[in-house]
Chain A
Amino acid sequence: MATKNIAGVDVNVNEEGYLTDHSQWNREIGEAIAKEEGIELTGQHWKVLEFLQNEVKTNGALPTIRRLTKSGVVDTKTLYQLFPDGPMKKASKIAGLEKPASCV
């Protein structure tokens, strides 16, 4: 495991840059990871990120895209505009969560 300095804080990350300890995450770190991914966070982005964090807190697992869009937080088209090229991979990284496991 490596550590990386993000937004002035040393955090534990895996080889793909996902935080391995969510308790180290804060909003500034989220902003900084988003910038690395070429995304400027808006209120709409934050709604998605907070939904993901709440789901992980209550269910212990990331929701699927289908669950996210069914929740009414965001529609799929907008989700892809907010987080281009793999929205769940990017959003979970920015939210300081684990990378979504692709199903088998």
Chain B
Amino acid sequence: MKRVLILGAGTAGTIMANRLNRKLGRKEWTITIVDQHPKHYYQPGFLFIPFEMYTAADVTRNKTDFLPKNVEYVQEGIDVIEPNHNRVKLQNGKSIEYHILIIATGTNIVPGEVEGLLDSGWGENAFDFYTVEGSVALAKRLKDWKGGKMVVHIAEMPIKCPVAPLEFTFLADWYFSKKGIRDDVEIKYVTPLSGAFTKPRASGVLNHLLENKQVNLVPDFNIMHVDGTAKKLVSFDEKEVDYDILVSIPTNMGDSVIERSGMGDELNFVPTHKHTLQSKAHENIFVLGDATDLPSSKAGSVAHFEAEILTGNVLYFIQNKPLKEDFDGHANCFIESGFGKGFLIDFNYDVEPVEGRFPLPIIGPMSLLKESRMNHFGKLAFKWIYWNVLLRGWPIPMITAQMTELGKKL
């Protein structure tokens, strides 16, 4: 028997296990997936927890509920990848050998990379919302908060789900308005980018929206340290921003196993061919989802689109055929904008988010780069789609892995 070994049973790894299970000849191939954590989180839902829209239970399931029965699941930490021996050592001392390795170990926030962030006030007046623990702690803090200065701060790029900090800000505006304390809350959005988002046309629209919601944008802010005692952020060029509550999006890094294995860049992301998803260093290693160093968004939709293309490439690799250079960087993201409305953006490596209709030209029903109620319902419906369609590795009707230009105002 030959083995495909998948590292990580998050969004990317789970989708891939389901897809390969349907495509690989099982007389010849074993599929094994390794992950240290038993729980699967619906990560887009973390955003709603601080505002009491979801609870932790709403976003938590067991990983095994989404893995096919005839995929071997190993719940164990990964010690090191040994690509020259086609072998992965686990933390329990055992080793697993592979013919093909798929790295889907994701990205984590690393608050310790931001000087001072963990020193004073972490969990009291400084929080993250990229972990279930962080979101729950923030929900508790916001519940009785009477107002003051809230700062939403991005430490450095790239981050997982680059629109999430904006969504958080829009929802905060809505949440405090609903509570009748919006006038007592000053919201600042502090970012190392020159505007609200990475892509110019979307950034323009979103900058404007921040302004409408009376959020102060502080661009080009490169954090030197957080002073938790004085409750302020200090930049390298000595700008300062005060806060009462800091909502931090800390440095994102790939898993530490990538560093231990000597396979990553300076942020532990694995150098990956941007169109085939093959690792640059080893031809029988492929990389999927947030673990790559690709200039695409780190988002579930991207992992979903990549998985479709990678399934084909794994089969081509097995058959000794050339890989297809089909991945175009396609991302599709809802942006919750508060008050029951939302945006939708659809883009790839080359085409930035623009206005239009989605998924069908003219008909929609969703609007691109425009605020609408339908987009908000799309976002809420997505939770069901995530658990029942996306994780199972099924295509989402009418949405293709490669971006379509139909219906877009280019």
Chain A residues with CB under 8 Å of chain B are 64-67, 70, 76-77, 79-80, 84-86, 101-104
**B144 lies within 8 A of chain A by Cβ:** no
Among residues of A, the one whose C-beta sits closest to the C-beta of B299 is A104
Instruction: Say whether, besides A80-B222, A80-B237, A84-B237, A67 and B295 are in contact (CB < 8 Å).
Output: no
Contact with A along B149-168 (1 / 0, CB 8 A): 00000001110001000000
User: Quick check: A103 and B158 within 8 Å, CB to CB?
Assistant: yes
Give the nearest-CB partner of B157 in chain A.
A103
Alpha-carbon separation in the docked complex, A91 to B297 (Å): 26
Q: A64-B266, A80-B237, A85-B237 are in contact. Are A102 and B193 (CB under 8 A)?
A: yes
Cβ contacts A to B, 27 pairs, < 8 Å: A64-B267, A65-B222, A66-B156, A66-B266, A66-B267, A67-B266, A76-B236, A77-B224, A77-B236, A79-B236, A80-B222, A80-B236, A85-B220, A86-B194, A86-B220, A101-B295, A102-B194, A102-B198, A103-B157, A103-B158, A103-B198, A103-B295, A104-B158, A104-B198, A104-B199, A104-B295, A104-B297
Whether B331 is near chain A, meaning CB under 8 Å from some CB there, is yes
15 extra interface residue pairs, beta carbon distance < 8 Å, beyond A66-B156, A76-B224, A80-B236 = A64-B267, A65-B156, A67-B265, A67-B266, A76-B236, A79-B236, A85-B220, A85-B237, A86-B194, A86-B220, A101-B295, A102-B157, A102-B193, A104-B162, A104-B199
Size of the chain B interface, CB-CB below 8 angstroms: 20
Q: Contacts of B331 on A, CB cut-off 8 Å?
A: 104
Closest-by-CB residue of A relative to B113 is A66
By DSSP majority rule, is chain B's interface helix, strand, loop, or mixed? loop
Give complex CA distance A67, B267 in Å.
Answer: 9
A82 nearest CB across to chain B (Å) = 11
Cα of A84 to Cα of B238 in the assembled complex, Å? 10
What is the CA–CA distance of A103 and B192 in the complex, to the nearest angstrom? 11
In the complex, whether B296 has a CB less than 8 A from a CB of chain A is yes
B266 proximity list for chain A (CB < 8 A): 64, 66-67, 70
Identify the closest chain B residue to A63 (Cβ): B266
User: A-facing mask of B320-335, CB < 8 A → 1, else 0?
Assistant: 0000000000010000
Query: In angstroms, how far is the closest chain B Cβ from the Cβ of A73?
Result: 14
CA gap between A76 and B223 in the complex, in Å: 10
CA distance in complex: A87, B198 (Å)? 18
Chain B minimum-CB-distance residue to A84: B237
Contacts of A67 in B (CB 8 A): 265-266
Q: Report the Cα distance A17→B10, complex, angstroms.
A: 43
Closest to A68 in B: B266
In the complex, the chain A residue whose C-beta lies closest to that of B349 is: A104
Instruction: Report the bound CA distance from A66 to B114 in whole Å.
Output: 12
Interface digits, B236-249 against A, CB 8 Å rule (1 contact, 0 not)?
11000000000000
Taking CB as reference atom, which chain B residue is nearest A64? B266
User: Looking at A65, A67, A102, which has the most chain B CB atoms within 10 Å of its CB?
Assistant: A102
**A-B residue pairs, 7 tightest by C-beta:** A80-B236, A103-B158, A103-B157, A104-B297, A104-B198, A102-B198, A67-B266
- Residue from A84, A86, A104 whose CB has the most chain B CB atoms within 10 Å: A104
Shortest CB distance B197–A (Å): 9
Min Cβ gap B240→A in Å is 14
What's the minimum C-beta distance from B354 to chain A, rounded to whole angstroms?
Answer: 15
Instruction: Give B235's nearest chain A residue, CB to CB.
Output: A80
B 264-282 contacts with A by CB, 8 A:
265-267
User: Which B residues between 74 and 133 are near A, CB-CB below 8 angstroms?
Assistant: none
Please report the C-alpha to C-alpha distance between residue A80 and residue B40 in the assembled complex, in whole angstroms: 41
Give B78 Cβ to nearest chain A Cβ, in Å: 24
Question: In the assembled complex, how far is the CB of residue B238 from the closest CB belonging to chain A, in whole angstroms?
Answer: 9
B110–chain A nearest beta-carbon distance, Å: 12
Taken together as a complex, chains A and B put the C-alpha atoms of A84 and B235 apart, in Å, by 11
| Contact code string B179-214 (vs A, CB < 8 Å = 1, else 0) | 000000000000001100011000000000000000
Q: Give A80 to B224 CA distance when docked, in angstroms.
A: 10
Minimum CB–CB distance for B300 against chain A, Å: 14
- Residues on B with C-beta less than 8 A from A103 are 157-158, 198, 295
CA distance A76 to B265 in the complex (A): 19
Which residue on chain A has the smallest CB distance to residue B192?
A: A102
| Residues on A with beta carbons closer than 8 Å to the beta carbon of B198 | 102-104
| CB neighbours of A80 from chain B (8 A) | 222, 236-237
Determine how close the nearest CB of chain A comes to the CB of B351; give it in whole angstroms. Answer: 12
Residues of A within 8 A of B237 (CB): 80, 84-85
- In the assembled complex, how far is the CB of residue A60 from the closest CB belonging to chain B, in whole angstroms? 12
